[in-house]
Amino acid sequence: MTIVEKAAYLKGLTAGLGIELDSRDGKLWGALTDLLSDMAHEIEDLQSSQLDFADTLDEVCDDLTYLEEMADAFDASDHSWDEDEEYYDEDDEDPDNIYDLPFGGDDEADEEDEEEDEDEEDQEDEEVEIDGVLYDATCPSCGEEITFDEETLEKGSIRCPNCGEELEFDLGEDE
């Protein structure tokens, strides 16, 4: 018997005892049975929602387990993902095919990659960290994207580091 059925049984039992709903005791019993019925329906709705959430959580857990297994399999194959690196099979005639993963290494290529990585790290070390807001603009002459800070914006112009074109900023301030 469900909780809703039990509440309905108590309501029927109260009515079967001949309690008059207009009396003081009848009003109390009527209010209690109505409350029990409402609570039983709310509990039933909560149980249904909880089961739906549990099913959804099980699906998410299954998806997460699958992703963890895929990541473990990839790590076990001694490869690592690098967003800036193109992955290809060195036996592939088209090195621009980035959809194949490498299956081995060539010592010269590995040395070149290490040198490129060191150069990139040196360039990153040279960059100055700026606190505050950064802005991006595209040079109309060469299409180079330029990043600058608020102080440069307030100066009103900047030179493109690629082509030397001077970019001016109109802040739209009326005096």
> pLDDT tens digit string along 50-96?
999 999 999 999 999 999 988 888 777 655 555 555 544 455 555 55
Q: Taking the chain, what is the end-to-end CA distance rounded to the nearest angstrom?
A: 80
Tell me, yes or no, whether 118 lies in a domain.
no
Vertex 108: Cα angle to 103 and 110 (nearest 5): 55
Does residue 104 lie in a domain region?
no
For residues 147 and 157, give the distance between their C-alpha atoms in angstroms, rounded to a whole number.
12
Residues with Cβ < 8 Å from 19, sequence gap 6 or more? 25, 26, 29
- 64 lies in a domain? yes
Domain membership of residue 99 (yes or no) is no
Report d(CA 23, CA 157) in Å as an integer.
Answer: 88
Res 55: pLDDT: 94
The answer to the question of residue 81 being in a domain is no
Q: Is 123 part of a structural domain of the chain?
A: no
Sole residue written with tokens 């290809």:
88
pLDDT of res. 54: 94
Mean of pLDDT over the chain: 76
Query: Among 78, 75, 133, 122, which Cα is nearest to 103's?
Result: 78
Is the confidence at residue 49, as pLDDT, over 50? yes
Count of structural domains within the chain: 2
pLDDT at 128 over 50: no
Looking up tokens 């690629």 gives: 162
Q: What is the mean pLDDT of residues 37-44?
A: 94
pLDDT band, residue 108 (cuts 50/70/90): low
Check whether 102 has a pLDDT greater than 50. Answer: no
Give the domain range for residue 157. Answer: 134-168
Give pLDDT, residue 103.
Answer: 45
Tell me, yes or no, whether 152 lies in a domain.
Answer: yes
pLDDT of residue 116: 66
Whose tokens are 């609570």? That residue is 39
Is position 173 within any domain? no
Alpha-carbon span 100 to 79, nearest angstrom: 12
What CA–CA distances, in Å, run from 144 to 126, 151, 164?
A: 20, 20, 11
Q: Does pLDDT of 118 surpass 80?
A: no
